[in-house]
């Protein structure tokens, strides 16, 4: 009999925990409230099924527990009941899958005119690259990475020279403007994850992955790595700032381009060579 009480408490406790506990998602800062809505639908459907099954079990145990002289019924099959249950389940599953696939279609369809931002992961640091005045990102290659060209940009590509590079610093995004995050890694798997954006995607060395979003709220948000990438994994943090249009422009103009960085590195190198200092 204790088991009946525990089963009822467990069903009720789970529902109360869901409704009353302080642990819920952090307020959203992107257009992906569609994802949140699908999640809520799923919570309601699955929650109802869970409570129904557990309470039905509790009732069965209570009502049909063994007492002297009891004998179970003999009922091998009930085709009608089984069909009804199968149909009901299929309906419930469809009710979750349909909105899910609909939103997934949105998630993978990048709107025309979305700005491009490249995120580069390495153990255990985030770097970013924005297109320069030409509005295009230049080509890059892991093989071209060197101390003065840490993202491996193609020096012979004019489109690359004016790209804006942010090494280990903050990424700023403009509110209300769709942005396609192009994700690249130079060493191992990483995952660019901002909880407030709800989106995440692995970064895989040897290929470029992506997702898109529209920031909907200004503020400063933490970037985490969500794919185990070695012992420094939990320390691999970064910062994304969502700015108003004005603040964004101010920030953008203060950033350095690839050619500026290369020129600076060259000056430094000549200076060091003059002082006969060690190369590193």
Partner 1 sequence: MVDIRSGTDRALGPAEVEDVELYHPHSWWTRYVFSQDAKIIAVQYASTAIAIGMVALVLSWLMRLQLGFPGAFAFIDAERYYQFITMHGMIMVIYLLTALFLGGFGNYLIPLMLGARDMVFPYANMLSYWLYLLAVLVLVSSFFAPGGPTGAGWTLYPPQAVLSGTPGGKDWGIVLMLSSLILFIIGFTMGGLNYVVTVLQGRARGMTLMRMPLTIWGIFTATVMALLAFPALLVACVMMLFDRILGTSFFMPAIVEMGEQLQHGGGSPILFQHLFWFFGHPEVYIVALPAFGIVSDLISTHARKNIFGYRMMVWAIVVIGALSFVVWAHHMYVSGMNPYFGFFFATTTLIIAVPTALKVYNWVLTLWRGDIHLNLPMLFALAFIVTFVNGGLTGLFLGNVVVDVPLSDTMFVVAHFHMVMGVAPILVIFGAIYHWYPKVTGRMLNEAMGQLHFWVTFVGAYLIFFPMHYLGLIGVPRRYYEMGETAFVPASAHTLNEFITIVALIVGAAQIVFLFNLVWSIRHGREAGGNPWRATTLEWQTPETPPRHGNWKDLPVVYRWAYDYSVPGAPEDFIPQNQPGPDNLTRETAT
Q: Which of residues 206-245 bind partner 1 (CB under 8 A)?
A: 206-207, 209, 222, 224-235
> How near is the Cβ of 186 to partner 1 at its closest, in Å?
5
Which of 192, 143, 190, 144 lies closest to 171, judged by CA?
A: 192
A 10 A CB-CB count for 166 gives 20
Q: Is 82 in the site for partner 1 (CB under 8 A)?
A: yes
Contact pick of 159, 201, 241, 262 for partner 1 (by CB under 8 A): 201
Instruction: Report the first-to-last Cα separation within the chain, whole angstroms.
Output: 74
The residues facing 231 across adjacent strands are none
Q: Are 182 and 210 in contact (CB under 8 A)?
A: yes
What residues between 62 and 81 interact with partner 1 by CB under 8 A? 64-66, 70-78, 81
Which of 129, 115, 136 lies closest to 213, judged by CA?
A: 115
Contact pick of 122, 137, 163, 164 for partner 1 (by CB under 8 A): 122
Cβ closest to partner 1, residue 174 vs residue 227: 227
Q: Is 57 in the site for partner 1 (CB under 8 A)?
A: yes
Q: How far apart are CA 275 and CA 160, in angstroms?
A: 32
> How near is the Cβ of 268 to partner 1 at its closest, in Å?
17
> How near is the Cβ of 36 to partner 1 at its closest, in Å?
8
What residues between 239 and 278 interact with partner 1 by CB under 8 A? none
What residues between 162 and 191 interact with partner 1 by CB under 8 A? 183, 186-189, 191
Q: Is 107 in the site for partner 1 (CB under 8 A)?
A: yes
> How near is the Cβ of 133 to partner 1 at its closest, in Å?
28
Q: How far apart are CA 132 and CA 23, in angstroms?
A: 42
Q: How far apart are CA 109 and CA 105, in angstroms?
A: 6
Q: Is 23 in the site for partner 1 (CB under 8 A)?
A: yes
Tokens of 50: 């869970």
Environment class of residue 267 by beta-carbon count within 10 Å: exposed (0-12), middle (13-18) or buried (19+)? exposed
How many residues touch partner 1 (CB under 8 A)? 99
3-state SS string for 199-210: CEEEECECCCEE
Q: Is 143 in the site for partner 1 (CB under 8 A)?
A: yes
Cβ closest to partner 1, residue 147 vs residue 274: 147
Q: Is 20 in the site for partner 1 (CB under 8 A)?
A: no
> How near is the Cβ of 176 to partner 1 at its closest, in Å?
21
């Amino acid at each position: 009999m204790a088991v009946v009480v525990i089963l009822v408490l467990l069903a009720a406790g789970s529902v109360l925990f869901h409704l009353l506990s302080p642990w819920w998602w952090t307020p959203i800062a992107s257009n992906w409230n569609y994802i949140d809505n699908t999640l809520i639908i799923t919570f309601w459907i699955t929650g109802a099924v869970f409570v129904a099954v557990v309470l039905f079990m509790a009732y069965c145990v209570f009502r049909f527990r063994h007492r002297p002289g009891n004998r179970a019924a003999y009922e091998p099959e009930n085709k009608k009941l089984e069909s009804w249950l199968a149909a009901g389940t299929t309906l419930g599953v469809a009710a979750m899958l349909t909105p899910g696939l609909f939103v997934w279609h949105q998630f993978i369809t990048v709107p025309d005119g979305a700005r491009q931002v490249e995120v580069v992961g390495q153990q255990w640091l985030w770097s970013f690259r924005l297109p320069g005045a030409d509005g295009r990102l230049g080509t890059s290659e892991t093989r071209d990475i060197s101390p003065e060209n840490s993202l491996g940009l193609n020096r012979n590509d004019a489109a690359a020279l004016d790209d804006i590079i942010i090494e280990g610093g903050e990424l700023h995004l403009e509110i209300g403007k769709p942005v396609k995050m192009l994700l690249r890694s130079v060493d191992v798997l990483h995952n660019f994850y901002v909880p407030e954006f709800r989106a995440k995607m692995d970064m895989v060395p040897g290929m470029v992955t992506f997702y898109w979003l529209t920031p909907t709220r200004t503020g400063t948000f933490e970037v985490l790595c969500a794919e185990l990438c070695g012992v420094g994994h939990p320390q691999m943090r970064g910062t994304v700032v969502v700015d108003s249009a004005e603040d964004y422009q101010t920030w953008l103009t203060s950033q350095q381009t690839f050619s500026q960085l290369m020129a600076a590195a060259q000056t430094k190198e000549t200076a060091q060579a003059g002082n006969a200092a060690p190369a590193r």
